[in-house]
A and B are shown apart, each in its own frame.
Chain A
């Protein structure tokens, strides 16, 4: 056998050119925490209770606790059951997680007493299919849902309003925006709220900003919820983020005190990315984040690596670990907005494989940001899915008969809500004496794809307007009045109903969203009751008829025509 140096086979060349080879992969380095979930450097589970408090946690005595250990021991773990449940063999707990006869209630009862290392010990026993089986049962809300990103590369409020309306119509239960130029935030948050309520009354909106501004927009009723409240798995990285478990717990109460739904954000890979994983695996540290969130009493968590997805994505078993972290959040009885929200791979095949562990079993929000704008306009630095994937997503739902929260909508309906959203925003801006939105801009919004399809805005004038919204103290109620005065009665009524929700506090409960009829749907009145085949959420009836629709389906009655 002879081979010629420097000559490659045609097949190798073809493989080299495949998009997947543009992705980055690295070897594990467990000593530094560059490892997904199987590391000899993670602690062994242990717990000891004395005098009603935990004095030893995962091999560490109370005197040596860092602040994560302290917070988790004192707030997250049920002291009364800790020793009992931690003594259950991990394999029994893992099997119960996949056994449909073991109820969700029983597993959350066990989960409430477990230590981080014990939880890791359990999920390490599970392969990805078992993780999905368990997720199907442990998800807090019975009905799965989805969340969209609605942003603009030019922070154009008209674009955000139109895309929010389309996103809401397509089925997203929550809409999230953020900014290129932060000072644009008030106008874009208003656009998101108005557009969202045009598309589908009851959709919930948020604007991701630094903590204080985000809270202020929420307090004014311009946004409905918040989720970019980051927590980390080591003390040093937490401190680098300028917070502690106590400051974040206080913030959680601050949001609830204003009737605003809120969830934390965390994810595998953030600590090692910041160079301070303290030699622990990514999943071990993420489990500490999940327990910290639980201890703070926040209703939910956005996790699934999120902005660090390139790190677990590059190591062996990383996407299994990401599926496991979503499962643990659900198991700990938190709402889980399960990632799939950041650019992940050059390979379409790999992008799809990455989302199946959330999409197939269903989660509270399959994506914590499906880009409902072209990725070029995505100011969260791109999502795993964007507008170009809408038809693929709908087809996968139909093929596998799973509910990923979206549906095919016929173009005339889409154009109608886009126009109405732009018109409503035009009216609100006029009523509030904000920079004018022209008819030309409204027309552009109806047919546009991305920010390049809109006339340029006068950015300086817009920023002045944005400042005046803050200075004048414009509130959600002012938006209701402006919509009502300008004849958008139904939109005004939708928004008022959303605002009224904060008086009731119903949306503060775990996994709460609003239905089309403005009925809060949470893990209380829509508790996941999966108990094996034939039980739990089933895609059937009217909803299944909706999801059978695609852009092109040949009519059975008249095969020379299509139905859509």
Chain B
């Protein structure tokens, strides 16, 4: 709580004192469908106003958590949240397919670059795209691309 918060790149200037957002900054929290978090009540559930889609995290919220993580010097954790913010737009099945494609010897270099392009162009997921491009390069160097003859 005593850690000072450096100014962040974008969004509200959040620091450790704002955490937990669910207690201290409910004003910043919305569902992906645009409802304020305070709308997620039992009455609303019973009235059928809440769907499973409302219980997901919004990309903006992940960016807020990334800012918080940076304020306490957790650079990699923040980067993970920023990649995650991008992936909120990608459907579940596609996320799983991308993960499987990144397994060793599962994809050719072209296939990996195709995934990167898809992430970048279709989902504006540039940080994720860069991670996949980096994988393609390393896999090529370490002989971890798909081989022609698999038994």
Tell me whether B96 and A212 are in contact (CB under 8 A): yes
A409 in the interface, Cβ–Cβ < 8 Å?
no
| Set A71, A259, A477, A496: member contacting B51, Cβ < 8 A | A477
The tally of residues in A whose CB lies under 8 Å from a CB in B reads 74
Q: B1-18, CB under 8 A of A: which get 1 and which 0?
A: 111000000000000100
A288 to B74, CA, bound (A): 18
Given known A256-B80, A496-B45, contact A520–B40 (CB-CB < 8 A): no
Binary interface encoding of chain A residues 279-323 relative to chain B, with 1 for a CB under 8 A from any of its CBs, else 0: 000000000000000111111000000000000000000000000
Query: Does A413 make an interface contact (CB < 8 A)?
Result: no
Q: A505 with B61: in contact, given A244-B135, A299-B77, A477-B50 (CB under 8 Å)? A: yes
Can you name 20 extra interface pairs (CB under 8 A) apart from A259-B56, A298-B77?
A75-B76, A216-B96, A243-B104, A244-B139, A246-B138, A254-B96, A256-B81, A257-B57, A258-B57, A476-B52, A477-B51, A481-B46, A499-B55, A503-B58, A503-B61, A510-B69, A519-B20, A523-B72, A527-B16, A527-B72
List which B66-94 residues lie within 8 A (CB) of chain A: 68-69, 72-81, 83-88, 90, 92
Q: Is there contact, CB below 8 Å, between B29 and A244? A: no
Chain B residues near A254: list those with CB within 8 A. 84, 87, 95-96, 99
A257 engages B87 (CB within 8 Å): yes
Nearest to B57 among chain A residues (CB) is: A259
CA distance A108 to B75 in the complex (A): 12
Contact with B along A22-62 (1 / 0, CB 8 A): 00000000000000000000000000000000000000000
Nearest CB of chain B from residue A507's CB, rounded to whole Å? 9
Q: Which of A70, A251, A484, A489 is within 8 Å of B138, CB to CB?
A: A70
| A525 at interface, CB cutoff 8 A | yes
Tell me whether A221 and B52 are in contact in the complex, defined as CB-CB below 8 angstroms, given that A503-B61, A524-B16 are known contacts. yes
Collect the chain A residues with CB atoms within 8 Å of residue B61's CB.
Answer: 503-505
Which B residues touch A253, using CB under 8 A? 80, 83-84, 86-87, 128
Interface residues of B in 89-145 (CB under 8 A from A): 90, 92, 95-96, 98-100, 102-105, 128, 131-132, 134-135, 138-139, 142, 144
Q: Interface of chain A, helix or strand or loop or mixed?
A: helix
Q: Identify the B interface with A (CB < 8 A).
A: 1-3, 16, 19-23, 29, 31, 37, 40, 42, 45-46, 50-52, 54-58, 61-62, 64-65, 68-69, 72-81, 83-88, 90, 92, 95-96, 98-100, 102-105, 128, 131-132, 134-135, 138-139, 142, 144
Contact B76 A297 (CB under 8 A): yes
Query: Which residues of A sit under 8 angstroms from B102, Cβ to Cβ?
Result: 244, 246-247, 250
Is A66 engaged at the interface, CB distance under 8 Å to the other chain? yes
Bound complex: CA A503 to CA B86 (Å): 16
User: How many Å lie between the Cα of A78 and that of B73 in the bound state?
Assistant: 11
- 15 A-B pairs, CB-CB below 8 angstroms? A212-B96, A244-B138, A246-B138, A250-B83, A250-B102, A253-B87, A254-B95, A256-B62, A256-B87, A257-B84, A484-B45, A496-B45, A503-B58, A505-B64, A524-B20
Determine the chain A residues whose CB is within 8 A of the CB of B84 once the complex forms: 253-257
Closest chain-A Cβ to B150's Cβ sits at a distance in Å of 13
Min CB gap B122→A, angstroms: 15
A496–B68 alpha-carbon span in the complex (Å): 25
CB-based contact B95/A257 at 8 Å: yes
Q: Which of A224-277 contact B (CB under 8 A)?
A: 235, 238-239, 242-244, 246-247, 249-259
A211 on the B face (CB < 8 A)? yes
How many Å lie between the Cα of A50 and that of B74 in the bound state? 24
Q: Is the CB of B144 within 8 A of A239?
A: yes
Closest chain A residue to B61 by CB distance?
A505
Give A247's nearest chain B residue, CB to CB. B102
Interface residues of A (CB under 8 A from B): 66-67, 70-71, 74-76, 78, 105, 108-109, 112, 211-212, 215-216, 219-221, 235, 238-239, 242-244, 246-247, 249-259, 294-299, 333, 475-477, 480-481, 484, 489, 492-493, 496, 499-506, 508-510, 519-520, 522-525, 527, 529
Q: Is the CB of B56 within 8 A of A246?
A: no
- In angstroms, Cα B69 to Cα A238, docked, is 28
**Alpha-carbon separation in the docked complex, A522 to B79 (Å):** 19
User: CB distance B92 to A216 under 8 Å?
Assistant: yes
Verify B103–A249 contact, CB threshold 8 A. no
- The smallest C-beta distance from B103 to any residue of chain A, in angstroms, reads 5
Q: Given known contacts A252-B80, A493-B42, A520-B22, is B74 in contact with A246 (CB within 8 Å)?
A: no
B77: shortest Cβ distance to chain A, in Å?
5
Q: How far is the CA of A251 from the CA of B51 in the complex (A)?
A: 25
- In the bound complex, do residue B37 and residue A500 qualify as a contact, i.e. CB atoms below 8 Å apart? yes
The listed residue with most B CB atoms (<10 A of its CB), out of A255, A477, A480, A505, is: A505
Using Cβ atoms and an 8 Å threshold, which residues of chain B touch A505? 21, 57, 61-62, 64-65, 81
Cα distance, A501 to B104, chains bound together (Å): 34
Cβ contact within 8 Å between A221 and B55: yes
In the complex formed, the residue of B with least CB distance to A474 is B52
A527 and B100 CA atoms in complex are apart in Å by: 36
**Within the complex, what minimum Cβ distance (angstroms) separates A385 from chain B?**
31
Q: A493-B42, A510-B74, A519-B20 are in contact. Are A503 and B1 (CB under 8 A)?
A: no
CB distance from B59 to the nearest CB of A (A): 8
**Is A503 a contact partner of B29 (Cβ separation < 8 A)?**
yes
Our pick among A70, A74, A501, A524 for the contact of B22 (Cβ within 8 Å) is A501
**Residue of A at shortest CB range from B50?**
A477
Bound CA span A375–B62, Å: 40
